[in-house]
Amino acid sequence: MNGMTKFLIGAGATALMAWGNHSAVGSGQAFVDALSGKTSSIIGDSGVSFDYSANGALSRSVTLSGDVSDEEKARITKELSGIDGIGSITWSGDEGADGAEADSDGDATATADSDSNAATDVAPASEEVVAECQGNVDGLLAGKTIEFRLGSAFIAGTSQGLLDEVAEALKPCAGTVVEIGGHTDASGTAEINTSLSQDRADRVRAALIERGVPERQLTAKGYGPSKLKNTANPRAAENRRIEFGVTSSATAPEGE
């Protein structure tokens, strides 16, 4: 076997491996059935129901519903977040729409309404607070990166500690909106990379919410390869990253 033949075989094998990494999380009924089986094992007989929907090319979103304790919700959310292929996790009614129905007691209803108002009535952060929060999170990420499995939105175990630190840095940042930006290199198609970057940003957002950062304070946006950090080398590892942009809630784009 000559050198050129070996090269072509090696290149073909590499291409197949790359395709497999993307398609392993992929789509199709078999993929959803596998996720459903894992989800059923986690929720057990708790009475929680679930529904999957598409979340980009590489993962699915799951919506959960059921009258269970906050502790049980936290357990289920944590275990589901560890499943490769789940891009985001939502509990039906978490936005407050079902808060009054959860308990017929008048005081409980008033408390739910009060909590909802408190979350939306936080005064916008000053420029000084925004700058401090941005500096804190940038300092944590200096020389570090939140890592994922190849071609996946599954956060590597080695990055869990870094997420803990980021969450602690963001908790005091009341009155801000933090955009979690997902970025990829230019390998592969822009469509797949954009979907992957959105899935990864969504997964980081879910992880920070799980760690106590207010949900309304976080947004997620996948940019794919559109904002390369190293334009001289579009495939450089430094282009594959998660970035955090802190703004005051007074200046955040409407809808975020």
User: Can you give the CATH number for the domain in which 114 is found?
Assistant: 3.30.300
pTM score above 0.85 = no
In the three-class reduction of DSSP (H, G, I as helix; E, B as strand; rest coil), residue 92 is classed as coil
Sequential pLDDT tens for the chain (256 residues): 554 444 444 444 444 444 444 444 444 667 777 878 888 888 888 888 888 765 544 557 778 888 888 778 888 887 887 777 776 677 876 543 333 333 333 343 333 333 333 345 678 999 999 999 999 999 999 999 999 988 889 999 999 999 999 999 999 899 999 999 999 999 989 999 999 999 999 999 999 999 999 999 999 999 999 999 999 999 999 999 999 999 998 876 554 4
Mode of pairing for the β-strands spanning 60-65 and 49-54: antiparallel
In the three-class reduction of DSSP (H, G, I as helix; E, B as strand; rest coil), residue 177 is classed as strand
Among 121, 145, 164, the domain-final residue is 121
User: Do residues 159 and 149 touch, judged by C-beta distance below 8 A?
Assistant: no
> Does residue 255 form part of some domain?
no
Shared domain for 107 and 151, answered yes or no, is no
Shared domain for 166 and 236, answered yes or no, is yes
Shared domain for 145 and 240, answered yes or no, is yes
Residue 179, domain CATH: 3.30.1330.60
Range(s) of the domain holding residue 228: 123-248
